Amino acid sequence: MIAPPKPNGLTSAPNDEAPSLSLCTRLVNCAKDAIILQDLQSRILWMNRAAETMFGWRLEDVRGLPGVSVMADTNLPTKFHYDLQSPIFDRFVVACHKRRDGSEFWNQQTFAKVEPIHEDQNMMILVSCRDISEQVQTETALRQTQEELRHAAYHDDLTGLANRKKLQGYLETPLVRDALKKQQVGVLQLDLDKFKEINDSFGHAAGDGTLIHVAEALRRSSGPQDLACRSGGDEFVLICPKVASIEALSDPG
């Protein structure tokens, strides 16, 4: 059984009702979260079995080494000293750490100050670690799905251009409103001639290819503040704010 170190270690209470040090150690070793005891220089004094499993290091291999050596956190300096006024003691800290085998995981940490019991002892830091990689992956996938749904709500599925809903919102932006007041908004509307004949003669795949080709041409011709939109089956609109004349709108440059 792994016991806490003698110097700066835990001590049992003098009364019989308090749990013994051996029992406390057993209880901490049963915890699912990794628990690491450090000094103010972040040197490892003790850690439970969950910490050994999480990081892949045995206590005897890392006792006395800085925590950065175990967690492989490249954001921390090798010479580290805890600031007792730091906000890390009041919040969760999430970081990407590495195990001994090099595999990465997301580590949610909490930090607590352990006040000395006797005058000859120093303050220690208790670090609790929880692997939240699965939670992070789930949240990342959820955010990606939300972004995809948001994009789908405002863009045409086939061409990727803005749809009517996106166009409506764009026309209400301060950029376009200001340009409208100054009569500096250019509008290009395109209808594809004989598009039905393309579908009837060559099939819908050829029709879709034609629409995609037109959309790409509009996208290449759009400026960073312009909006290219597929407004209907074979209808497209290009909105160009801050265009002062028809000549400027027609200028491919």
Q: Just list the catalytic residues.
A: 234
- The token pair at 141 is 């996938």
**Residue in the block written with tokens 């220690």:** 124
Rounded Cα–Cα distance for residues 248 and 184 (Å): 10
Rounded Cα–Cα distance for residues 63 and 74 (Å):
20
Q: Which amino acid is at 65?
A: L
- How far apart are alpha carbons 157 and 241 in whole angstroms? 25
Query: Bridge-partner residues for 96, per DSSP?
Result: 106
Cα distance between residue 40 and residue 51, in whole Å: 19
**Which tokens hold the place of 39?**
């000094």
What is the CA 164 to chain-centroid distance, rounded? 31
- Of the candidates 29, 39, 1, the one whose C-alpha atom is nearest the C-alpha of residue 127 is 39
